[in-house]
Structure formats: structure tokens, C-alpha cells
């Protein structure tokens, strides 16, 4: 094993000490550099930022709601009396006009009663004519004539009653509409509880939706709405024509009904609708990007670029859109707000603008 002299060991120790000093000095310089960089990021230097210039613009306050399409008119076709179906004068899914006879029940017995009463009426009317001639020459008493007149009036009342019973065996279309699928066949025995089919008027349609009670003062009739339904990549239009005069106590919402033209009959009753309602227009709104807002524990702030430095300003916000938010108080047209670097900036820090949006 090789042995070192005392001088050699001293020389080695001095070399190790020098190398240690150089390493320590390098670490110290690196630490100082990192501290300087951190101080620069914290505001001791000029911070590079992107900004947005506040300008007034026209915006719309909109409200999204969930709605349901309904038929303008809708009924179940049900008979008023029990009986056997003798006529079905419609085709499933067809369009029918108001007043069309759709269903007829057997009325042979009622028709026979009507013919009997009409014959009795004719006989009594002839009898009355003869009695009036005899009364003119005092050949009959007034009481006999009055009795005949009463009999005629009674028969006429019976005729009207039978005619009313006959009308109950007939179902007419009360409005223009489309017949649904029928549930019975010709010759079936039906009762007043039997639903033969449905009749729906689908042009126009109704659209019902609800909104929170706080928006009730902003709603009025004739206000246009737009909506979308599943299966259609387009917006449909409607117009409010009625508002429920009472707020629902359970949901604290108010119900609104719209009139929706449907000439092509693309839309069907029962469909779900995503409704967008324009509550009001604001012609001079100050809008800024949402990322410009700096939330605090008590309020909201933005960083304004003023005379080359950062200034924090408290703001009050309003309508929020997808990427922008309205500032009601705190900013003026022409103000320049930061949209990057808000987490590093401090009040009074010098700023350099990279990009203006």
C-alpha cells in the first residue's frame, strides 16, 4: 500500500477545501438567482400580461327553461251512451274537419220512436185544424181545442227528446285536427268509458314551461321565445300568450304558455323542449372576460392597467354569459383590465402589455 507524506496530505486537504468553497459559492449564486426570479415574479420586476379594453355593447339577458309541447286542442272520442258501433267514418292518422261525423252508434229503436211521434203529431195537427173550423161556428167547445193544442205541444217535446237521444249516438269532430289510433272495431259494444280514439289539433301547438318567481316582473305576453327539441338541429320560434296569475307555492315558479306555429307538423305533442327566453336587452353593457374576475372573501375584484402599473378595483357583476360577465359598478368604458397574470400581480407592480384583446 502506497504511503503519503505529511506535505502531500496537506496539499490534498487544501485542494478539497478549495473545491468545497467553489461549490458553496456556486450554490449561493444559484440561490440568489432563484430568489431574484421569485421576486420578479412577485412584482419586483415588470410583469408581462394580456389585457382587455372595456367597451359598451348590446347584450340580452336570457333565461333557460325546460318545457313541454302540447296540442292546441285535444279530446278523447267517447260516446255519451252505450251502444253498438255501426259507422266509423275516419282513417287512423287522418286529418278531419270540424263537424265531420266520426262515429255512429245503433239508433234503430230511437228512429222508430221518432217516426211514431211524427205520425201522431201530423194526426193531431189535422185534428186541430178541423176543431178550429168547428169552433168558428160554435160547433165545439174551446176546451176541446185547448186539449188538442196541449197534445201537440206534448208530442213536439217528445220528438225533441228523442232527437236529443239520437244525437247522443253520434260523435262529430268539434274542431279541425288529426285522428289518433282507434281502440275499437266496427260492431263493437261501447260505453261512455270507452275511448274510441283521440283527436288532436297540432297546428298550432302550445308550449308550457316554468320560470323562477324572481323573473315574473320581466315577463309579458307577446314576448318571443326560441326552443329546441330532440331530433332537430334547428331553433323553433314561439310567442307567449298567457301567464298563470298565481305562483306555485311548492316550487316557487310561475307557469307560462306559448303559441307555436307548426304548419309542417314536424313537432309533436309531448316532446321535451329546451327553451331560451329573452328577458330584456341592455344597450350599454360593460362586458369583460370571466377570467378577469379575482374573487375574494368579501367581494370581487379586477386588476386595471393604469399608468403602466396594476391597480385593484372592486366591481359588482351582473349578467353572466358563457365567456363574459357584465360589470355593473366599478369600471368605465375604455378601462384596461388584466386577463392573465392576476395570481402574480400586486398593487403598484409595473406591467408590460403583450397583447390587447
pLDDT digits (tens, 9 = 90+) for 247-263: 999 999 999 999 999 99
pLDDT category of residue 306 using cuts at 50, 70 and 90 = very high
**Portions of the chain given CATH number 2.40.50.100:** 79-190
Residue range(s) of every CATH 2.40.30.170 domain in the chain: 64-71+202-281
Within the chain, which residue ranges are assigned CATH 2.40.420.20?
48-59+283-356
Distance of CA 298 to the CA centre of its chain: 35
> Once rounded to an integer, what is the mean pLDDT over residues 30-35?
57
Q: Return the CATH fold of 64-71+202-281.
A: Elongation Factor Tu (Ef-tu); domain 3 (2.40.30)
User: Is beta strand 47-53 parallel, antiparallel or unpaired with respect to 351-356?
Assistant: parallel
Helices (DSSP H) in the chain: which residue ranges?
A: 6-39, 108-136, 142-167
Instruction: Give 309: exposed, middle or buried? Use CB within 10 Å, 0-12, 13-18, 19+.
Output: middle
Position 146 pLDDT exceeds 70:
yes
The domain defined by 79-190 carries CATH number 1.10.1660.10: no
Mean pLDDT, the chain, rounded, equals 89
**CA-wise closest residue to 79 among 107, 49, 104:** 104
Q: pLDDT tens across 176-212, in order?
A: 999 999 999 999 999 999 999 999 999 999 999 999 9
**Between 40 and 340, whose confidence is greater?**
340
CA distance 160 to 279: 56
Q: Which pLDDT score, from 0 to 100, does residue 276 have?
A: 93
User: Residue 199 class from Cβ within 10 Å (0-12 exposed, 13-18 middle, 19+ buried)?
Assistant: buried
Query: What is each CA distance from 9 to 1, 4, 5, 243, 285, in whole angstroms?
Result: 15, 7, 6, 101, 82
Intra-chain end-to-end CA distance of the chain, in Å: 76
3-state secondary structure of 82: coil
Least confident interval from 44-53, 64-73, 309-318, 347-356: 44-53
Asked whether the CA dihedral 94, 97, 101, 103 is positive or negative, the reply is: positive
Output the CATH code of domain 48-59+283-356.
Answer: 2.40.420.20
- Of 91-95, 261-265, 294-298, 311-315, the poorest mean pLDDT is in 294-298
For the residues 131-160, what does the mean pLDDT come to?
A: 93
**Pairwise pLDDT comparison (20 vs 325), residue with the higher score:** 325
User: Considering the chain, what percentage of its residues have pLDDT values greater than 90?
Assistant: 70
Q: Cα(296)–Cα(280) distance, rounded to whole angstroms?
A: 30
Q: Is 13's pLDDT higher than 50?
A: yes
Q: Which residues of 11-41 are buried (b: 16+ CB within 10 A; e: fewer)?
A: eeeeeeeeeeeeeeeeeeeeeeeeeeeeeee
Residue 152 has pLDDT above 80, yes or no: yes
Amino acid at each position: 500500500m502506497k504511503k503519503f507524506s505529511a506535505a502531500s496530505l496537506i496539499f490534498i486537504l487544501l485542494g478539497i477545501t478549495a473545491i468545497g468553497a467553489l461549490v458553496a459559492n456556486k450554490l449561493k449564486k444559484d440561490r440568489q438567482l432563484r430568489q431574484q426570479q421569485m421576486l420578479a415574479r412577485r412584482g419586483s420586476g415588470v410583469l408581462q400580461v394580456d389585457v382587455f379594453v372595456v367597451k359598451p355593447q348590446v347584450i340580452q339577458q336570457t333565461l333557460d327553461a325546460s318545457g313541454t309541447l302540447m296540442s292546441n286542442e285535444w279530446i278523447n272520442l267517447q260516446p255519451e251512451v252505450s251502444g253498438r258501433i255501426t259507422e266509423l267514418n275516419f282513417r287512423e292518422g287522418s286529418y278531419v274537419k270540424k263537424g265531420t261525423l266520426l262515429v255512429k252508434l245503433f239508433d234503430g229503436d230511437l228512429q222508430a220512436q221518432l217516426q211514431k211521434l211524427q205520425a201522431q203529431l201530423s194526426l193531431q195537427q189535422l185534428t186541430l185544424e178541423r176543431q178550429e173550423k168547428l169552433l168558428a161556428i160554435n160547433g165545439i167547445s174551446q176546451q176541446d181545442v185547448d186539449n188538442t193544442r196541449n197534445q201537440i205541444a206534448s208530442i213536439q217535446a217528445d220528438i225533441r227528446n228523442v232527437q236529443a237521444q239520437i244525437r247522443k249516438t253520434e260523435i262529430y269532430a268539434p274542431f279541425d285536427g288529426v285522428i289518433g289510433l282507434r281502440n275499437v272495431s266496427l260492431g263493437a259494444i261501447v260505453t261512455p268509458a270507452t275511448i274510441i280514439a283521440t283527436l288532436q289539433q297540432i297546428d298550432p301547438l302550445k308550449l308550457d314551461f316554468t320560470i323562477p318567481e324572481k323573473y315574473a316582473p320581466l315577463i309579458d305576453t307577446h314576448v318571443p321565445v326560441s326552443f329546441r327539441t330532440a331530433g332537430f338541429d334547428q331553433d323553433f320560434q314561439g310567442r307567449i300568450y298567457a301567464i298563470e296569475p298565481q305562483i306555485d307555492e311548492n316550487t316557487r315558479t310561475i307557469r307560462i304558455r306559448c303559441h307555436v306555429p307548426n304548419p309542417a307538423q314536424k313537432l309533436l305533442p309531448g316532446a321535451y323542449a329546451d327553451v331560451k327566453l329573452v328577458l330584456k336587452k341592455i344597450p350599454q353593457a360593460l362586458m369583460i372576460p370571466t377570467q378577469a374576475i379575482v374573487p375574494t372573501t368579501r367581494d370581487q375584484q379586477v386588476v386595471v392597467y393604469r399608468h403602466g402599473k396594476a391597480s385593484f378595483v372592486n366591481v359588482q357583476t351582473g349578467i353572466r354569459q358563457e365567456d363574459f360577465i357584465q360589470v355593473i359598478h366599478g369600471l368605465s368604458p375604455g378601462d384596461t383590465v388584466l386577463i392573465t397574470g392576476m395570481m402574480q400581480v400586486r398593487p403598484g407592480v409595473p406591467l408590460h402589455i403583450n397583447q390587447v384583446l
